[in-house]
Structure 1
Amino acid sequence: MRQGKLIQIFTLSATVMALAGCGTITPSPLTQDELNQTNRTDKSMASSAVEPIDGPLTLDEAMARALKYNLDRRTRLMEEALSMNQLEMAEFDALPKLVAQAGYTARDKERATYSSQYTPNQVVSSFQTSSYSSERNHGTADLGLTWSLLDASVGYYGGKQQAERVLIAAEKRRKAMHVLMQDVRTAYWRAASAQQLRSQVQQTIANAESALADSRKVEAERVRNPMDALRYQRQLLENLRLLESIEQELASAQVDLAALVNAPLGQPITIAETSLALSEDSMLTLPIQRLEDFALENNADLREQHYNSRIARQEVQKTMARMFPNLNFNYGFKYDADQYLVHNNWNEAGLQLSFNLFNILTAPTQTKLAEAGVKLADQRRVASQMAVITQLHLARLQLINARKQFLRADSVYETDVRIASLVRSRANAQAQSKLDEVANDTAAILSLLRRYQALAQVNVAENRLIANLGLEPRLGSTDALKLKELTQQISMNNRQPWAPLLSGAEKP
C-alpha cells in the first residue's frame, strides 16, 4: 500500500509540474548584452583568417579575395557541404534499424486473475480460484533488429534524389561564382576610375568655385553686363553640378569593392595601375553554333534543370515503390526481470507481410501526379534551354557593342584631353576664360569616366558570356589554396579565359 501511495504521489506531482511549466512559458527578447556579444562574435568570424591588403590591389587579386573570403560565397560552400552531409545521412535510410530499449514497470496492486474449470455447453456461475503470475515491480530490456523492404526501397530512391541535389548545389555554387566575379569586375573598375579621377575632379571643382566667386564679384561691381555675368555663372554651376554628380557616383566604389572582397569597410584600398586595353576577341570569330553547343553542355542553369528532371523521374519510381506490399522482418533479444517467468531471457523473430489496400484506389492518382511532375520538369528544362540560347546571343551582341563603345570612348577621351591641354595653355597665356578651362577640364574628366565605364561594360559583357557558356577558372579548393596561389591561377585564367572553348574541351 505504501508503494502504491508513492506511485500516486509521484504521478500527481509530475502532472502538476507539467501543467505549471506549460503555463509559465513567456517570450524572452534578446538583451542588449546578448546582442552586443553576438555582434562582436559575428564580426570577428567575418574577418577571421582574412589576409590584409598590403599593397596596390590588382584585378586578379580582387577576384581571388572574393572567391576566398566573400561571405556570400562561404554560405554557398556551406550549403554544398550540407547537401553532401544530407547525402551521407540518406544512405543510412536503407539500413536495418537496431533499437535498444529498457523499462521499468510498477503497480500498486498485483495483477491477479480468477480462473474456473471449462465445461462445454455449460455456464459456470462462480469462479474457482484466483492467482497472479507477475511481479508488481520488474524491469525489462530488449535489443531488436528491424528491416523493412518498403523503407529500404524508398530510402534507396531518396538517396539517389539527394545525390542529384548535391550536384544541383554545385551548379548553384558555379552560378554564384559567375555573379560574384561579374560584381567584382564592375566594382574594381569603378574604384579604379574613382582613384584616377578623384584629384582631377577636386581640382576642377576648386577652379570652378574660384571662377564663380570672381564672376559674382564682377557682377557686384557692375563692371560687366549683368546678363553676361549671370550666363557665365549659369554655365559654371552646370559644370559644378556635373562634377559633383561624378564625385557622388564614385564615392561608393571603395565600399562596394571592400564588401565584395571582405576587406575592412572605411579602410582605403589602393588600386594598382592597370592598362586600359581590350582583351583578345578570338572567341567572337567562332561559329555561333559552336557557342550554342558549348553553352548547352556546360551552362549552370541548364545543368540544374537536367538534374531536376532526373529527380522528378526518380520520384515516379519512389511512388511506385510505395504501392508494393511491405515485407517487415524483426529479430530481437528480450529480457524481463519478472521472477514468475520460467525464462527471463529469450530470442524472438518475426516476419510480417502487409499491404495498404487503399493503394489500389489511390495508385492511378499518385502515378498521374508523379508523371505530371516529370512533364513539368521537362518543360522547365526546354524553357531553360531556349533562355540559355537567347542569353548567349544577347551576351555576344552586348560584348561586340561594348567593345565598339570602348573604342569610341577612347577616341573621345584622347580628343578631349588634347582640347583641354590647348585651352589650359591659352588660359595660362590669358587668352582664354576660366569658364572655357573649367568646361573643357570637365569634359575631359567625363570622357575619362566614360572610358572606364566602357571598359567595365566590356568586362561585364565578357563575364556574362563566360557565365552563359559555363566557363570558369579551373581552380583547386579555395580553402586549401593560399591567397597568392589562388591569385596566380586566376591570373593565368584571365589571360586565356576562352581556352577551353577554343581547344574544344567539353567541360571546364
Structure 2
Amino acid sequence: MPSRPFAAATVAAAATVLFSGCAQIQPRPLDADALQQQTLQDRAASRRDVTPLGTTLSLDEAIARALKFNLDRRARLLEQALAAQQFDLSRYDQLPRLLASAGYTARDKDRISISTDLEGRPTGADPTLSQSREHTVSQIELSWSLLDYGLARYNTQQAADRMLAAAERRRKATHQLVQDVRVAFWRAASAQRLQADVKASLQLADDAMADARRAEAEKLRSPLDALRYQRQLTENMRLLEAIEQELATARYELAALINAPAALPTRLVTQQELPEGDPLTMDASAMEERALAQNADLREQLYQRRIAATEARKVIARAFPNLSFSIGPHYDTDRYLVNNAWSEASVQLSYNLLGLLSLPAQRRAAEAGVALADQRRLAAHVATITQVHVAREQLAGARRQFERADALWVLDDKITRQMASREQAQAGSKLDRVAAQTTAIVSLLRRYQALAQLHAAHSRVHATLGVDLLPESSDDLSLEQIAAVVRAQLAGQQR
C-alpha cells in the first residue's frame, strides 16, 4: 500500500492540475463606475504639481510651461528613464550566477536492488536498500560562463546606445514642442487681439443689413442695388464668421500644449513680437557643420548603427566554444548516504556543432542590419544638409512674408480710419466701412499668421542645428528658472 504522505501529495497534485485546467478566465469589461473613477484619477494626475496660471502669460513662460508640464514630453522623459533603467539592469547580467535550490522526494516503495553476474544470473547476495523513501536535497551553486559574459557585455553596450538614442528622440520631441508652442501662442494672441474687432464688425454688419432690408422694403433704392448691397454685406459677414471660427480653437491648442485648463483664463502678453537674433548671419557651410554635429535625427541614426554593429559582433561571439565553471556545496538527507554533505566543482567546454549550420545565415542577417543602419545614417546625413538649406530659405521667406503682411495691415488700418471719418461726415456708407474693417481684420489676421510662421521658421532652424533651449539636467529646475533659460535662448544668448 502506498504511504500516506505520498498518497496525500499525489491527491493534492492531481486536484491542483484538475482545478487549474477547469478554471477559465472570463473577460471583464470596464463598467461605468470604473471608467468614471479612472477618469477622475487621470484628471487629477494630469494636473498634479502643475503651477497655476497667473493673470498674464508671455511666450517664454508658455514655452517653459510646455517643457515642464507637457504630458507628451513627460512620456518622452519616462522613455529615456526606462532606457536608463534597462541599461543599469543589463550590467547585472555580467555577474556570475549563484543558484540556491532545494527539493523534496518521496516514494511509495523502497528502492531495493539485487546483484547479477555478467550473464544476468543472480549472484545469491541479499537484496540491498540504497535510498530513503523520503529525503530532501539542497545545494548552492556558483557558475560562470565565458560565452554568457561576452554576450552580456555586448547587450550592455546595446542598452547604453539605446539609452542615448532615447535621449536624442527626447531632444527631437522637445524641438517640435517648442515650435508648436510658438505657433499656437501667436495664433492665440491673434485671437485675443481680433476678438473684439470681429464682434464689433459683425454687429456693424448686422445693423447695416437691417438698414438695407428696411430700405428695400420701403423701396428707397432700386431692387438690384439693394440686393447687391445685401450680398456684399453677407459676403463680409461670412468672411468675419470664418475668421472667428478659425481663431476659436487657438487658445485650446495652446492650453493643451502647456497643460493648462482648456479655457486658458489668462491674458497673453506680446511686448516683443519679432524673434531675437538672426540665424542667417551664420553662413550655410557653418550651419551644415553645426547640424551634422548636433542634429537629433542624425545622432540617433549614429547610435542605431552602433547597435547594429554590436549585434553583428554578437553573432560572431556565439560561434566560439563556451567555457563554463561551477562550484558549490550540496546536502542530502538520505540516511543511506555515508556523506550527506559534499562540495562539487566542474569545468565544462561545450560547442554547439549544429549552430554552425545557421552561422552563415546569422552573419548575413547581421550584416544586412549594419548595411540598413548605414543607409539610414546616410539618408539622415543628406536629409540634415537639405533641412539646413530649406530652413534657411523658409526663414528668409517667412521674414519677407511678415514684412509684406505688416505693410498691408498698416495700409488697411489707415483706410479703415478714413472710411470711419467719411461715414461720420456722411460721405460714405456703412457698407464701405464694414468692407474696410473686414479687410483690415483679414490683414491683421494674415499678419499674425505670418508672425507665427516666422517664429516657426526660427524654431525649425534651431531644431535643424540641434540647439537646445534647456541644459541636460532640466528636471530639477523650477518653472521660473526654465523661463529664464528660455528667455536667454530666445534672446540669442549662449548658455
Normalising TM by the smaller chain, what interval? over 0.9
Aligned counterpart, 2:398:
402
Shift of 1:242: 0.5
CA distance in 2, matches of 1:474, 1:145: 48
Aligned counterpart, 2:295:
299
Shift of 1:406: 0.6
Aligned counterpart, 1:503:
none
CA distance in 1, matches of 2:471, 2:380: 27
Aligned counterpart, 1:448:
444
Instruction: Give the letter for the 1:454 counterpart.
Output: A
2:21 matches 1:19: yes
2:420 matches 1:418: no
Contact in 2 for aligned 1:194/1:253 (Cα 8 Å): yes
Shift of 1:472: 1.5
Aligned counterpart, 2:70:
70
CA distance in 1, matches of 2:374, 2:337: 64
CA distance in 1, matches of 2:71, 2:208: 48
Q: 1:421 to 1:128 in 2, by over 3 A?
A: same
CA distance in 1, matches of 2:120, 2:114: 15
Computed over aligned residues only, the root mean square deviation of the Cα atoms, in angstroms, reads: 1.5
Q: 1:465 to 1:113 in 2, by over 3 A?
A: same
Equivalent in 153, 156, 161 of residue 153 of structure 2: 156
Instruction: Give the letter for the 1:356 counterpart.
Output: N
Aligned counterpart, 2:11:
9
Q: Secondary structure at the match of 1:324?
A: coil
Equivalent in 215, 233, 236 of residue 233 of structure 2: 236
Contact in 2 for aligned 1:254/1:268 (Cα 8 Å): no
Contact in 2 for aligned 1:7/1:108 (Cα 8 Å): no
Contact in 1 for aligned 2:470/2:482 (Cα 8 Å): no
Shift of 1:54: 1.3
Instruction: Give the letter for the 1:442 counterpart.
Output: T
Q: Deviations over 1:399-443 (max 9, x none)?
A: 001001111111111111111001101111211100000000111
Q: 1:139 to 1:445 in 2, by over 3 A?
A: same
CA distance in 1, matches of 2:156, 2:374: 21
Aligned counterpart, 2:273:
276
Shift of 1:126: 7.0
CA distance in 1, matches of 2:139, 2:239: 84
CA distance in 1, matches of 2:255, 2:324: 60
Instruction: Give the letter for the 1:97 counterpart.
Output: R
Q: Deviations over 1:294-353 (max 9, x none)?
A: 111111000111111111111111111010001111111111111111111111111111
Q: Secondary structure at the match of 2:128?
A: strand
Aligned counterpart, 1:256:
253
**Between Structure 1 and Structure 2, how many residues are aligned?**
493
Query: Which residues of structure 1 form unaligned runs of 5+?
Result: 501-508
Shift of 1:476: 5.4
Contact in 2 for aligned 1:296/1:385 (Cα 8 Å): yes
Shift of 1:10: 2.1
Shift of 1:265: 1.5
Instruction: Give the letter for the 1:342 counterpart.
Output: V
CA distance in 2, matches of 1:339, 1:388: 76
Aligned counterpart, 1:506:
none
Contact in 1 for aligned 2:115/2:123 (Cα 8 Å): no
Normalised to the residue count of structure 1, the TM-score between the two structures is 0.94
Aligned counterpart, 2:85:
85
Aligned counterpart, 2:434:
438
Contact in 1 for aligned 2:276/2:492 (Cα 8 Å): no
Contact in 2 for aligned 1:402/1:454 (Cα 8 Å): yes
CA distance in 2, matches of 1:439, 1:357: 87
CA distance in 1, matches of 2:134, 2:122: 33
Aligned counterpart, 1:335:
331
CA distance in 1, matches of 2:85, 2:285: 40
Q: Secondary structure at the match of 1:133?
A: strand
Contact in 1 for aligned 2:59/2:270 (Cα 8 Å): no
Q: Which piece of structure 1 moves more, 258-267 or 392-401?
A: 258-267
Contact in 1 for aligned 2:114/2:122 (Cα 8 Å): no
Q: Deviations over 1:66-94 (max 9, x none)?
A: 00000000000000000000001111111
Q: Secondary structure at the match of 1:275?
A: coil
Q: Secondary structure at the match of 1:331?
A: strand
Shift of 1:264: 1.3
Q: 1:108 to 1:125 in 2, by over 3 A?
A: closer
Aligned counterpart, 2:476:
480
Contact in 1 for aligned 2:194/2:441 (Cα 8 Å): yes
Shift of 1:254: 0.7
CA distance in 2, matches of 1:296, 1:417: 46
Q: Secondary structure at the match of 1:100?
A: strand
Instruction: Give the letter for the 1:334 counterpart.
Output: H
Q: Secondary structure at the match of 1:112?
A: strand
Instruction: Give the letter for the 2:321 counterpart.
Output: P
Aligned counterpart, 1:505:
none
Shift of 1:276: 3.0
2:489 matches 1:489: no
Aligned counterpart, 1:427:
423
Query: Which residues of structure 2 form unaligned runs of 5+?
Result: none
Contact in 1 for aligned 2:391/2:460 (Cα 8 Å): yes
Instruction: Give the letter for the 1:478 counterpart.
Output: S
Instruction: Give the letter for the 2:236 counterpart.
Output: N
CA distance in 2, matches of 1:178, 1:37: 35
Shift of 1:43: 1.2
2:178 matches 1:176: no
Q: Secondary structure at the match of 2:337?
A: coil
Q: Deviations over 1:458-480 (max 9, x none)?
A: 00011011101111124353331
Contact in 2 for aligned 1:157/1:314 (Cα 8 Å): yes
Q: Secondary structure at the match of 1:140?
A: strand
Where do residues 118-137 of structure 1 align in structure 2 (5 Å cutoff)?
118=117, 122-124=119-121, 128-137=125-134
Q: Deviations over 1:445-503 (max 9, x none)?
A: 11111111111110001101110111112435333111111111110111016x58xxx
Shift of 1:278: 5.0
CA distance in 2, matches of 1:12, 1:276: 78
Shift of 1:267: 3.9
Contact in 2 for aligned 1:278/1:403 (Cα 8 Å): no
Normalised to the residue count of structure 2, the TM-score between the two structures is 0.97
Q: Secondary structure at the match of 1:465?
A: helix
Contact in 2 for aligned 1:475/1:486 (Cα 8 Å): no
Instruction: Give the letter for the 1:233 counterpart.
Output: Q
CA distance in 1, matches of 2:263, 2:282: 45
Instruction: Give the letter for the 1:439 counterpart.
Output: A
Q: Secondary structure at the match of 1:115?
A: coil
Q: Deviations over 1:73-131 (max 9, x none)?
A: 00000000000000011111111111111111111111222223x35xx4415764322
CA distance in 2, matches of 1:227, 1:174: 63
